[in-house]
Structure 1
Amino acid sequence: MRAFLAVDLPEEVVTDLDTFLGPRRESVASRREWRWTRAEHLHLTLAFLPDLDEWREEELIAQGEAFLARRGTTDLRLAGAGSFPDPGAARVLWAGVEESARGTLADWATGLRAVANHVGARVAGTRFRPHVTLARAVGRPHPAGHLLQALDTLRTPVWRADEVLLVASWLGQGPHGTPRYEVRHTWSVGEGAEPA
């Protein structure tokens, strides 16, 4: 199955983000250059597993549990914006992430990717850069400098990241041909950590 490990956004952050994005989406809607991420699909990906064998899932859950139990939580907020690969020819628009305990998300991502590899799951992707995907280009890449200026003032409320999700993604099974997500497991972070 196609799956990913992610930090979910709380409802109040999604609502705040949706309110912020509303006028910015409307300002470019007529050009139909961007497909905006549905609110229920907003998340911060730590690891992408393009083809997770279901028989490996139980071991991934057990080893992920052990890893995350020894990690500390962090406070997050979405702040600013950027694009991949660059503003002149963007394929993806994203919101940046600020964390109170700098490096925590990178530690989670590195460790969980190692856990996934250890249980035999293939991990796809490049160097981890914490972000939340806001929109993808329709067709070819598009210049995005004007949008990034408008998105750069983004600042959501702060929330505590204390859970990581294992999510299955079923392509084309959601509304309007979007993916359908199914949360397969939720790990609590820091349950076995020593108090500071």
Structure 2
Amino acid sequence: MFVAVALPEAVREDLAAFLEPREGMPWVDPAQWHLTLAFMASVPPSRADELVERLAHAAGRAAPFALSLGGAGAFPHAGRASVLWLGVDDAAQDPLARLARGCRAAASVSGASPDGRAFVPHLTLARLRRPVEATRWLRVLDAWQADPFVVDEVELVASFLGEGAKGRPRHEVVATLPLGADPLPPGEALREG
């Protein structure tokens, strides 16, 4: 499972149209695009409801904010890239990082196992079987300009490996959690019911 910011349809369509004529890269299916805040390799089934509740609280404590995609990058680096991505604008870095920390803390307290890697906000565009020199591709991706959009919710998504088209993962939204709508503290709703 993972917690993510989904892209608005207009942004998704614009970026897909930009990439469509650019052959030579194994582009990720636009339906799979998202900004991962927290990845959890395992979630105890008995604590799934608690996870949703704690994530709702973490999301509810965060105010909505504007975000623009832009600035291409590569993992581990452009000279030997295995992943090509787009970053986020400077103004969105802090609120996105705070939101990611809150989601990871909520997952940890709920018994899930959030990935411990440092948070690097990015939208994965291509995954390569073998590393390549990608400087030219990063220049191409840097040419794409996006309108800002408001991040006002996050999604908890279940990922089913190999069950999607062409052996890709199939994603299923488990819960949509609004920002700025702080619900009762975790556990309160369960005690009242």
Assess same fold via TM > 0.5: yes
Give the 5 Å matches for 1:2-151.
Answer: 3-24=1-22, 26=23, 28=24, 34-98=25-89, 100-138=91-129, 140-151=130-141
- Structure 2 unaligned spans of 5+: 184-193
For the 8 Å contact 2:93–2:121, the answer to whether it is kept is: no
1:92, distance to aligned residue in structure 2 (A): 0.4
Q: Which aligned runs of 4 or more in structure 1 are off by greater than 3 angstroms?
A: 99-102
169-178 or 45-54: bigger deviation: 45-54
- Structure 2 vs 1, CA of residues 125 and 16 (structure 1 numbering), >3 Å: closer, same or farther? farther
Give the AA of the match of 2:10. E
Partner of residue 31, structure 1? none
1:192, distance to aligned residue in structure 2 (A): 3.2
Task: Provide the rounded CA distance (Å) in 1 between the counterparts of 2:26 and 2:21.
Answer: 15
Give the AA of the match of 2:48. E
Give the aligned length. Answer: 183
For the 8 Å contact 1:74–1:99, the answer to whether it is kept is: no
- Structure 2 vs 1, CA of residues 132 and 54 (structure 1 numbering), >3 Å: closer, same or farther? same
* TM-score, reference length from structure 1: 0.89
1:23, distance to aligned residue in structure 2 (A): 2.7
For the 8 Å contact 1:168–1:181, the answer to whether it is kept is: yes
For the 8 Å contact 1:47–1:124, the answer to whether it is kept is: yes
Task: Provide the rounded CA distance (Å) in 1 between the counterparts of 2:85 and 2:46.
Answer: 33
Q: Does 1:154 align with 2:157?
A: no
Partner of residue 189, structure 1? 179
Identity %: 44
1:35, distance to aligned residue in structure 2 (A): 2.2
